Amino acid sequence: MMATSWHAAPPAPFDEIAPFYDAVFTRSLIGEAQRKTVWKHIDRMWNPGDHILELNCGTGEDALHLASRGIKVLACDASAAMIEVAERKKSPETAALLEFRVLPNEFIGGLLPSRQFDGVLSNFSGLNCVPDLPAITNQLVGMVRPGGQLALCFSSRYCLWEFLWYLSHREPRKAVRRWSGHVQSSISGRPIDVWYPEVSTIADAFRPWFRLTGISGVGTAIPPSYAEGWVQSHPRFFSTLCGLDRITSSLPIARTMGDHMLLRFRRSS
């Protein structure tokens, strides 16, 4: 029944932007800087030979990075167009370590892995589009080995950069749009619901099977991606912001007030 419901769904909202997603975000100054912050943490979490499940993998940049380190990755995304882009990035060196599959987060429990995964990655807000986080937890419990780690990157509810950016552009409603915890946005003209849960809400959703072990800011000093044109016009200042970001990303208050926050969990025994 679950598979029938999923296959009957309309094309994913991100299908239309898949062909130029890498040009707009992945290869942008802001996109590269924020992704490097995430990589710094996940490179400490998993080792060559591990098998990782990636949710909402997009065009496969994170999966490719992990594979380059000798890590096997099963990467899933709701967008068939995103998966097509990711498939084209495979190389002879990484092909044996990478499997891409069209599968929304909500149906991840339908996977039947040959063994439990050593970890799970969800980068750049994919889980912000899931209204029922405990349902995701229930599906992951049997898929992650005891001691396995989760790296989940959420959009933060309170983003200082966004607040100041939109206030300076005289758009006060946009400056506080995340604060309610729920926003209806649009991708390619199609509505999409986005939730901004607080850290305590996320931690509660993953208990008791997954214990929160760390929080790091992603984009605490670096602005959100819509400021790309501005940072390209101020390269020296952006370089300074990147240096500052490495400091503020670990500070207790600042780490939850950036564009994103990376939450790390460990599977209980």
Domain-wise residue ranges, the chain = 2-157+195-267
Amino acid, res. 167: L
Amino acid, res. 40: K
Please check whether residue 147 is in contact with residue 269, taking contact to mean a CB–CB distance below 8 angstroms: yes
CA 170 and chain centroid, separation:
29
What is the percentage of the chain residues whose pLDDT exceeds 90? 88
pLDDT band at 176 (very low <50, low <70, confident <90, very high): very high
pLDDT band at 11 (very low <50, low <70, confident <90, very high): low
Round to whole Å and give the CA distance between 175 and 166. 5
Superfamily of domain 2-157+195-267, CATH level 4: Vaccinia Virus protein VP39 (3.40.50.150)
Strand partners, 155: 260
Phi/psi of residue 74, each to 5°? -105, 110
Q: What's the pLDDT at 2? A: 34
pLDDT tens-digit map of 38-60: 999 999 999 999 999 999 999 99
Q: ∠137-139-142 over CA atoms, to 5°?
A: 100
Confidence (pTM) = 0.93
pLDDT tens-digit map of 237-258: 999 999 999 999 999 999 999 9
Please check whether residue 183 is in contact with residue 155, taking contact to mean a CB–CB distance below 8 angstroms: no
pLDDT band at 112 (very low <50, low <70, confident <90, very high): confident
